[in-house]
Amino acid sequence: MTTASTTSTPTSTPSASVAPLLSIAGLVRRFGGLTAVNGLSLSLADGELVSVIGPNGAGKTTLFNLITGLDTPDVGSVAFAGQDVTGFAAERLAGLGLARTFQHGRVFGNLSVLDNVLVGAHTRLRAVRPPLGLPLLGPLAELGLALLPPAAVRAEEERLRAEATEIIALFGDRLTPRLDKPAHSLSYANRRRVEIARALALKPRLLLLDEPTAGMNPTETAEMLEIIRGLKGRGLTILLIEHKLDLVMQLSDRVVVMDHGARIAEGLPSAVATDPAVIEAYLGHKAVGAANQDDAAAVVPTKRGIGE
Ligand SMILES: Nc1ncnc2c1ncn2[C@@H]1O[C@H](COP(=O)(O)OP(=O)(O)OP(=O)(O)O)[C@@H](O)[C@H]1O
């Protein structure tokens, strides 16, 4: 495995001196004889947007699964907001402010757009949460609250509904006219938007987006770029997996390149784009655009670099 010169360069994070929001160290995940993630370390400062790129099968989604509690590392640790969260379940991590979307999009087909987004807010419901330390009373309390919601619950639901509507409005006419439509009736691109809206309803401190523009045409991709740029502009910390390298180059503070489960380069987009090890990794895998049908807008690397 080639190690690019950018790998050893100290990362130019905006707040490198303060404790990182996310810090992963030496993560390893093996599937039988295959090492999908191989000793990966990475940290993310508050407000940073870091992209993880790499050829198909490089281990990007597995990395997301390890960070978000969908999978557990064989070796290594994950710290979030100063707390060791290695092995925490996904729901617990969501409660701490870690939200994600999935590569192929996951929505509740029979729920409306609004209800899908409200699902994302459920970890923030306070009034309906059963009392701590009374496990047997929990379900009874929930049933009672569902049948006869007190004013505090109704007020909280109203507030979350207003918030969800506001989040949906980020996607403009794509979603707002379809608030009450079941998610299964939406286009693929709209289902991806609903999924992102649902993740935002959690009011995350860290948002992980797994190929948010997969399956989107150039117009839709450009819209998504602006939405992600807007989220970054509001200070949201984002970890992004994306094959469309022109988008990565425009949005990222820093780019991490993976191949065969390991980090082969890391640095500013401009440095990574011309890194020989990165170009070699992509060319060795027949170039990103050629390898993934979803990536009509992806920029195929050339001898001079990627993202051109
Ligand atoms: N649950 C699993 N069981 C066995 N192998 C797995 C499992 N999950 C992932 N892998 C393998 O681990 C490797 C990394 O997969 P992963 O999906 O993380 O790559 P990726 O970089 O996200 O790829 P892509 O860009 O195509 O989405 C692949 O070889 C994949 O087949």
Q: 211: CA distance to ligand 1 center in Å? A: 14
| 240 closest CA partner among 227, 226, 256, 220 | 256
pLDDT by residue (tens digit) across 45-99?
999 999 999 999 999 999 999 999 999 999 999 999 999 999 999 999 999 999 9
Whether the per-residue pLDDT at 152 is higher than 80: the answer is: no
List ligand 1's pocket residues with C-beta within 6 A. Answer: 31, 34, 36, 54, 56-62, 103
Helix ranges restricted to H, 132-244: 137-147, 151-169, 188-201, 218-233
What's the pLDDT at 126?
Answer: 56
What is the pLDDT averaged over residues 270-297?
64
Mean pLDDT of the chain: 83
By alpha-carbon position, which residue is closest to atom 3 of ligand 1?
31
Whether the per-residue pLDDT at 290 is higher than 50: the answer is: no
* Structural domains of the chain ordered from first start: 1-81+205-308 (3.40.50.300)
Q: How far apart are CA 91 and CA 72, in angstroms?
A: 14
pLDDT by residue (tens digit) across 161-218?
999 999 999 999 999 999 999 999 999 999 999 999 999 999 999 999 999 999 899 9
Q: 59: CA distance to ligand 1 center in Å? A: 5
**CB of 289 within 8 A of CB of 56?**
no
Residue 157 pLDDT level (bands cut at 50, 70, 90): confident
What's the pLDDT at 136?
Answer: 59
Report ipTM (2 d.p.).
0.97
What's the pLDDT at 278?
Answer: 86
Q: How far apart are CA 195 and CA 96, in angstroms?
A: 19
Best residue for ligand 1 mutational test, from 60, 70, 239 (most atoms within 8 Å of Cβ) = 60
Best residue for ligand 1 mutational test, from 61, 67, 288 (most atoms within 8 Å of Cβ) = 61
